[in-house]
A and B are shown apart, each in its own frame.
Chain A
Amino acid sequence: AQKITQTQPGMFVQEKEAVTLDCTYDTSDQSYGLFWYKQPSSGEMIFLIYQGSYDEQNATEGRYSLNFQKARKSANLVISASQLGDSAMYFCAMREVNNNDMRFGAGTRLTVKP
């Protein structure tokens, strides 16, 4: 069963505007971690932000923030003040305390328009 769902295959945003990339997950573990990665056209995977299931506050890292709604099992990435360099694929991922792997969603391709 799909554990990570990213429903937006592609998104467009105007430069300097904010954008939200959706991610929902499925787990029965109480302890888990949620991660977002960026994959630019050059192909490497860049770790952006982490949210723990027990964290009471939403994670933030510079222009990235994570809108964590535990009851809804969603962990949406918010990018503020988009830049042209934000154009990339974005992957949501989860690690569960009782599993040995990291599960990834199918990704969202973000395009920032000038």
Chain B
Amino acid sequence: EAQVTQNPRYLITVTGKKLTVTCSQNMNHEYMSWYRQDPGLGLRQIYYSMNVEVTDKGDVPEGYKVSRKEKRNFPLILESPSPNQTSLYFCASSLFRTDNQPQHFGDGTRLSIL
């Protein structure tokens, strides 16, 4: 089954404790991205990757890191999480970056930073 898989689905942690949210897709997609969803703001892009070893900042990259060492994986790293990073996070992918490609989303990761 074609899918984007995120883990964990839920995480409660404390300020400053490094965490990684994994994302994997099995569709051989070139383009992958991370979003955060906050009430009233919709989804905002954190980082994106056009292909292996090619990543760039989105609208809200502060406090986050990513890497793309393999085509299928695109982990999101919070080196020193803070309470303002409490949010619902989505990983997404599409075959290419082009304007006619819908993105396929993972099921989301709900992070709570205390």
Q: Which residues of A contact B (CB under 8 A)?
A: 4, 9, 29, 31-33, 35, 37, 43-45, 47, 50, 52-53, 91, 93, 95-97, 100-102, 104-107
Contacts and interface: CB of A to CB of B under 8 A. Distances in A.
A98 to B, nearest CB: 9
Contacts, number: 63
Given A100-B56, A104-B35, A105-B42, 20 more contacts: A32-B99, A37-B105, A43-B108, A44-B105, A44-B107, A44-B108, A45-B105, A45-B108, A47-B102, A47-B103, A47-B105, A53-B99, A95-B100, A101-B33, A101-B45, A102-B45, A102-B92, A104-B42, A104-B43, A104-B44
Contacts of A50: 100, 102
Nearest to A102: B103
A100 B107 contact: no
Interface residues of B, number: 29
Interface of B: 33, 35, 40-45, 48, 50, 56, 58-59, 88, 90, 92, 97-108, 110
